[in-house]
């Protein structure tokens, strides 16, 4: 049974969407902060290292052989977006 179809257009669906957006934002911000803090603590942490982490996150995303819940998918998506964001920022700033 697909419970989602019963929620379509309801107040509860809006509340769930709002909670998911907030969780996504928090996860994204925490991941960005973690990467930036790591760079401060370890100046040798490079774009190459960040790309390696990002590749690992994409591998995790692709290894969904048993299915995952919405919460995990949301967290993974926000983490990947944060890695992509910082990578883009570093490339624009010329950080190696």
Q: How many domains are there within the chain?
A: 1
**Mean pLDDT, rounded, for 22-49:** 94
Mean pLDDT score across all residues of the chain: 83
Q: Summarize pLDDT for 45-54 with one digit per residue, the tens.
A: 999 999 999 9
Its domain, for residue 86, covers: 4-93
Per-residue three-class SS string for 27-68: HHHHHHHHHHHHHHHCCCCCHHHHHHHHHHHHHHHHCCCCCC
The per-residue pLDDT for 6 is 53
Cβ burial of 76 (10 Å; 0-12, 13-18, 19+) is middle
């Amino acid at each position: 049974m697909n419970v989602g179809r019963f929620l379509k257009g309801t107040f509860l669906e809006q509340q769930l969407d709002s909670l998911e957006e907030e969780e996504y934002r928090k996860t994204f911000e925490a991941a960005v902060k973690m990467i930036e803090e790591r760079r401060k603590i370890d100046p040798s942490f490079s774009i190459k290292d960040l790309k390696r982490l990002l590749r690992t996150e994409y591998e995790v995303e692709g290894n969904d052989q048993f299915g995952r819940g919405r919460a995990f998918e949301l967290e993974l998506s926000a983490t990947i977006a944060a890695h992509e964001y910082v990578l883009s920022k570093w490339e624009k700033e010329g950080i190696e």
